[in-house]
Amino acid sequence: ASGTDYQAEDAVITQGAVESNHAGFTGTGFVNLDNVVGSAAEFTVTGGGTRTITVRFANGTAVARPMDVLVDGVRAGALSFPPTGAWTTWQTLSLQAQLGTKIKLVSTSADGGPNLDKITIG
């Protein structure tokens, strides 16, 4: 896959922590967001125009975890991250959005977000 990667462990984390206890992540770890509405990871990116934002994640539970996607503070879309079967099984989910410089993934359920490995701007 082509594009520019932004590791979640480099993002600004609101209510969460960088961890590395579930294998299969890229970079040096992943972000485990707290299981609350509003837990978030904000990535600083470069580039403009309508682009594909791909999120690499794991969800070892049986329930999808929805998040809003904010670009420069404005809700640009939403993603519902399905179960991946295990916390060590990572998948990707994408959406298209008009880029700015800040992409923020915000948990919208009390389960919080999935574990986040990275985003790729394609």
Instruction: Give the footprint of ligand GCU on this chain (CB under 6 A).
Output: 22, 32, 35, 61, 87, 112, 115
For the bound state, the minimum distance from the C-beta of residue 77 to ligand GCU, rounded and expressed in Å, comes to 22
Between the CA of residue 78 and those of 28, 82, 97, what are the distances in Å? 26, 13, 10
For the bound state, the minimum distance from the C-beta of residue 61 to ligand GCU, rounded and expressed in Å, comes to 6
Closer residue to ligand GCU in complex, CB, 45/109: 109
Minimal CB distance to ligand GCU: which residue?
32
Closer residue to ligand GCU in complex, CB, 12/23: 23
Between the CA of residue 41 and those of 2, 62, 77, 119, what are the distances in Å? 22, 22, 15, 11
Nearest to 13 by CA among 104, 101, 97: 104
CA distance 4 to 121: 5
- Checking DSSP bridges between strand 74-81 and strand 91-98, what pairing results, if any? unpaired
Closer residue to ligand GCU in complex, CB, 51/118: 118
For the bound state, the minimum distance from the C-beta of residue 46 to ligand GCU, rounded and expressed in Å, comes to 29
For the bound state, the minimum distance from the C-beta of residue 101 to ligand GCU, rounded and expressed in Å, comes to 27
